[in-house]
Amino acid sequence: MATSKPIAATAPHTDPVASTPVQTSFVVDAGIPTRQRPPGICFDFNYGARVKVEGAGWRIKLIDRDAGHTLYDATVEDALVTSTKRYYVNFRVEVHRNEHLVFEHDFDLRGQNVYFRLPVGTLGDILAWFPYVEEFRRQHGCQVYVSMSPAIWSLFEGAYPELNFIRPEEEAARRAEFYASYYLGIFFPATDRTHQPTDFRMSGLQKTIPHLLGLQPLERRASVVLEDQARPIAEPYVCIAAQASTQCKYWNHPTGWFEVVQFLKEQGYRVLCIDQKHAHGAGNSWNLIPYGAENFTGDLPLQQRANLLQHADFFVGLSSGLSWLAWTLEKPVVMVSGFTHPANEFFTPYRVIDYHACNSCWNDTNIQFDHHDFMWCPRHAGTERQFECTRLITPRQVITAISRLMQDHRLKPMKTDAASTTQAGAACKSTLPDAEHRILKCA
């Protein structure tokens, strides 16, 4: 513990579908404590336990009631004491003056206004973390105020009538209403134990938040309500998303998406690419919409994009926000990812990873992710093994997962006249190098 002013922290932000991550100010100065008690004492639990005293002769104790630890015990004067832990702790506050206990308070959220700040621009993170906001409200019986982009809260508003949604810019004006505040994110460096109690590289993207909020780390799926339930396309179709925020997240096999799209079309499906951008990249590395897929990219409202997913037979994508959206909508998801360990995302039986290749660098506790390096490949950058985690995932592996999904869900779309598509695909394949069988060069 220390006597200090709250500090700023950062969390990664991306746009709702795929963009270059940036470091954005996430936690703001919480101001003076909002609860007044005996003359000269203010306290609250906004951004940790906070006690402000005026004058001399004070002794302040902060106690973790669950662990039975005294976290801070010191004499102060004219001070703002803040806990060094800014996540959920079941605190007890004691204030003494001239050796007499003059104020004590046990942390109790029941009936209190509690504020949650979520990142503004992310989709997958919010979908992963939002269920724990509701679970926290249910367990503690508090009044919850949650801020995020209105474009994203449109998915949740109808499903969570007990929650109050506010814009992030309203936080400062409404701060005096809040008894406690929590900032939900993954904080960098990952060794930061001020804002998160566990290393998110070990707990995984979703389960880092229940640890932060003192909840059981169980996988939970958010609820959403779609404004338009009408099926937008009559024919059977599948949604795919190929774009990502950094190159390591892409499926880097040279013919992967081409062969998968051709396979899906041969099964009788229309194949809709629903990324936000039809092209994305940096420097000399750019990624285009998969050849043969229908272009449903663009700045579509999330409600419209969710409606497309709702009526798709299944989704094929990467470790990205649209995979989380498809999973939230209870669509079967084929996820192609090598840079993350499978425990990092939600469980899907159709996860595709190649353990013969280098993999799971995102979850390696010896490695820190560099948001500013679009070509981040911490183990093999600049070598012939760069991005082998997904480059060596073959179309055959992904098609096998899709075939198993179709069998499990008894999907048999109406066959179309695929002869011309098959012939065109075979002709094109004949000009491509054999990508199915490769020799791994081990370090």
Q: Is 100 helix (H, G, I), strand (E, B) or coil?
A: strand
* Element at 93 (helix H, strand E): strand 91-97
Q: How far is CA 237 from the centre of its chain?
A: 27
Q: Strand order of the sheet with strand 333-336?
A: 294-295, 270-273, 237-240, 315-317, 333-336, 351-352
* Element at 61 (helix H, strand E): strand 58-64
CA distances from 137 to 27, 87, 118, 270 (A): 21, 16, 15, 42
- Asked if 244 contacts 338 with a C-beta cutoff of 8 angstroms, the reply is no
Distance CA 14, CA 292 (A): 27
| 125 part of the active site | yes
Distance CA 314, CA 239 (A): 7
Catalytic residue among 15, 44, 125, 275: 125
**C-beta atoms surrounding 67 within 10 Å:** 10
φ, ψ for residue 292, nearest 5 deg: 95, -15
Who's near 175: CB < 8 A, 6+ residues apart?
30, 31, 34, 46, 115
For residue 54, give both structure tokens. 């005026």
**C-beta atoms surrounding 10 within 10 Å:** 17
Please name which of 318, 217, 254 lies closest in space to residue 14, comparing C-alpha atoms: 318
- Asked if 79 contacts 119 with a C-beta cutoff of 8 angstroms, the reply is no
Burial class for 120, CB neighbours closer than 10 Å (0-12, 13-18, 19+) = buried
Please name which of 55, 56, 60 lies closest in space to residue 94, comparing C-alpha atoms: 60
Catalytically active residues are: 125
